[in-house]
Chains A and B, each alone.
Chain A
Amino acid sequence: MALDKTETGESYEGRTSYTHVGTRVDRPDGLDKVTGRAKFGADASAPGMLHGAIVRSPHAHARIVKIDTSKAEALAGVKAVVTRDDFATGLTGEEWNVLENVMAGDTALYDGHALCAIAATSALIARDAVKLVEVEYEILPHVTDVDKAMEPDAPIIRAGQQSKLVPEGMHPNVVNYYQGGHGDMAAGFAEADLIIERHFTTEAAHQGYIEPHAALATLGADGKGDLWCCTQGHFIVQKTCAALVGIDTSQLRVTASEIGGGFGGKTTVFLEPVALALSRKANRPVKMVMSRSEILRATGPTSSASMDIKIGMTKDGRITAGKGVFRLQGGAFPDAPAGMAAECSFAPYNLSAVSIEGYEVMANRPKQAAYRAPGSPMAAFAVESVVDELCKSLDLDPIETRLKNASREGTKAAYGPTWDRIGLVECLEAAQAHPHMKAPLRESEGRGVAAGFWFNHGGETSVSLALSEDGTAQISVGTPDIGGSRASMALMAAEVLGIEYENIRVTVADTATLGYNDVSHGSRVTYASGLATINAAKDAVAKLCDRAAQKWGIDPDAVVWEDGCAKPAGPNAGQFDPMPLKEITRRMGRTGGPISGHYEATPEGAGVSFGVHIVDAHVDRETGKTSVDRYTVIQDAGKAIHPTYVEGQFQGGAAQGIGWALNEEYVYGEDGRLQNTVFLDYRIPVASDLPMIDTVIVEVPNPGHPFGVRGVGETGICPPLAAIANAVSGAVGIRMTSLPMSPPKILKALKAQSDG
């Protein structure tokens, strides 16, 4: 294995065996979670605490003529009211966009947009006061559909937002554009024996985290604040909130609660700056908790998408050319992940001719937020559906065909670079060998296969590790634990220190305790915080070796660390008994002081990841209901630090994909109002909707991590939309091109089929 060092000096160590890494130890938060002792966002309270509530626009697009809060302010128990006037001015770029989303300026941009907020002595009084706020609107025309928002006569949502990358003549709602690819497209398509071109759509899907957004804020007149909230990244919350309420970053201390799901949706702020502004005005702590309706109306789902795919293939299954156009709607704000969709779309394929385009489009919907591998799942749905159709039309095996065209080390990615060591071929071979592929199908059942890709991410990271006198260790990380990271960090530290997993406690430290840490997103935590933990542990080990050298009177370079003990490096170093960690820490206060390890860096060696899913789906032709009968996830994890958590990530991606593919959608009325604002109507999968999801962990080490780790949190949601669509299309004998494939949509397709 070639060692490929990054600037931060990280490279795969090439180890083949581990003592702790790869074991299925008990999760450290298990007892807290099952007994209810774990403190989530809404579990905090403070003496004298007020409760906040938000006045939201019922209109999809309206100029705010006047907000009259006098009756609300007169209500007994109301202590503060804030509007946009109570936030910072002069912000630019994304901070301005976030503020505009958190509290509207002069225009309500979507149904549910926050207009003003109230703090009162009880949640009930706050909600009553919301009803007393009188808002005068001038209703403006609206658009919620991505294709309609691009039409020449579409209402302009926010003028002046267009990047200069957008081709001339496009509607102002098109705010950004990406175009890439390589090769001779005309020649590529000319080589093909069969070309299939299709249009696809997907609806917005919410991340569906069960825990609502919640915050408890205190901000005094002295500009010093404390914030407790449910977030994927308390450092970005600190930075953003400080900017939005106009205080210095370091004067705001943010503590992350336990988190009941995020999936990308908790990488920004919604309530947090509002609670701070209310607290400053009332001079009392303010707690805010969103209802499910508020979450669905006003927090970010993923983009809806409209896509055109054209792929050519020879009779023997070689893809000769691929073209994809991806239009993603990002709400009334820029930043829909259209470029990422385009770059991910053809990633599994080694193509000599490929053309990819992405359009970011604004519509009167809430600001889209990241949702596990933003942009990739819908792109995979479109591309993998056409590949499936080509395979079926040419009577080719879907996995053999993918293997024939697979990206591998040394081939050129559709988005440009030459691939480093990647594990797609290994995933496809594991799929080919899996018994699932040979299992018989029942009547009205189809089998779908699809591949998916995600980049993964590194990001700013800071970790501290402190040893205790009794030989145990405590680790402070700055990345909220959204996928088992406390267990993974402890396992990696145990491996380096040579002590037991149970002797290590990992804490998600607040913003006053550590240097900046990027959000827990981009599947980065096990990679980046893990890498930082390994290096913090190595830093501590170096200091432990120094103490042993000091004791033995030899050079520190003549000491090695093995099995939790300092040992002479060889016979020339001298004859000394191994000195266990506990023996060194017991005396550390008197031999130089406390021993800690630290690591701060922005590691850039996050290895990309591929996955392959196999799905059997049955469709009831009378009701249009789809049941997923069997599901297998195969994904490259690089190295699974805690395999059970890795499998959980795989299964979670599949479960969310099943919801997105079959039922979840934002339903907007003609008036631009969201029609399904509770879980009763916004149908996420429940346990009875899901089969047991089988998993296969493929381990192709990432050259950029000491233990070979690749992120696993996002890739799991890239193939499911396509794999399920391919299975359903097979079951009904109709190519399904629009998600979700809900019963009404399937019945409509079946009727069209029977009508001829």
Chain B
Amino acid sequence: MVEVNLWSGLRRFTDGVVTVEVEAKNVGEVLEGLARLYPELEDIIEAGVSVAVDGKVIASGLTERVKPDSEVFLIQQLKGG
């Protein structure tokens, strides 16, 4: 299981929790796991989010590896100028 940290504004859709455990081996599975656990997150994830894994910001890649002890944060979708 991987512990995923959500931004606090998502608490409304996760029964008040901001740390969620999902079964995942990569970023795509993290996002799928979150949507499965909390269906209200699905369209928010679909609209675009990025994921920080062990301090590295994964802008969009779903295949980036996630380990059971990885530090995972959901963050705002990265956009640049």
Give residues in A with beta carbon < 8 Å to B. Answer: 4, 6-7, 163-165, 177-181, 207, 263-265, 267, 337, 339-340, 342-343, 357, 369-374, 415-420, 454-459, 521-524, 602, 604-606, 608, 704, 714
Nearest-CB residue, chain A, relative to B48: A94
Whether A416 lies near B64 (C-beta < 8 A) is no
Flag whether B57 is at the interface (Cβ < 8 A). yes
Q: Would you give 5 A-B contacts (Cβ < 8 Å), ordered by A?
A: A7-B26, A165-B10, A374-B81, A417-B54, A417-B55
Q: Which residue from B10, B26, B64, B71 sits with its C-beta under 8 Å from A418? A: B71
Instruction: Bin the interface of chain B by size.
Output: 20 to 34
B80 touches A (CB below 8 Å): yes
In this complex, the member of A164, A343, A373, A455 whose beta carbon has the largest number of chain B beta carbons within 10 angstroms is A455
Chain A residues in 8 Å Cβ range of B37: none
Contact indicator B81/A267 (Cβ below 8 Å): yes
B61 smallest CB distance to A (angstroms): 5
Which residues on A sit within 8 Å (CB–CB) of B8? Answer: 179-181
Per-residue CB proximity of B63-81 to A under 8 Å, as 1/0? Answer: 1110000010101101111
List of B residues within 8 angstroms of A164 by Cβ:
13, 40, 43-44
| A455 with B7: CB separation less than 8 A | no
Decide if B63 touches A7 in the complex (CB within 8 Å).
yes
- Most A CB atoms within 10 A — which of B9, B56, B63? B9
Is A163 a contact partner of B56 (Cβ separation < 8 A)?
Answer: no
* A370 pairs with B80, CB closer than 8 A: yes
Residue B79 contacts which of A337, A602, A704 (CB distance < 8 angstroms)?
A337
Q: Kindly report which residue of chain A lies nearest to residue B75, judged by CB atoms.
A: A415
Contact between B61 and A714, CB atoms less than 8 A apart: no
For B8, B40, B71, the residue with the greatest tally of chain A CB atoms inside 10 Å of its CB is B8
Sample of 8 more A-B contacts, CB < 8 Å, known A6-B56, A371-B81? A164-B40, A178-B76, A264-B80, A416-B52, A417-B55, A420-B56, A523-B80, A704-B56
Question: B20 near A: Cβ within 8 Å?
Answer: no
One of B57, B59, B76 near A339 (C-beta < 8 A): B76
Cβ of B23 to closest chain A Cβ, rounded Å: 19
In the complex, which of the residues A263, A342, A455, A605 contacts B78, with contact meaning CB atoms closer than 8 Å?
A455
Most buried by B among A163, A416, A455: A416
Name B80's contact: one of A373, A416, A602 (CB within 8 Å). Answer: A373
- List the A side residues contacting B9 at CB < 8 Å: 165, 177-180, 357
Task: Say if the beta carbon of B58 comes within 8 Å of chain A.
Answer: yes
Q: Which residues of B contact A522 (CB under 8 A)?
A: 59, 78-81
Asked whether, in the complex, the Cβ of A415 is within 8 Å of the Cβ of B63, the reply is no
B14 within 8 A of A: no
User: How far apart sit A374 and B80, CA to CA, in the bound complex (Å)?
Assistant: 6
A374 near B79: Cβ-Cβ < 8 Å: yes
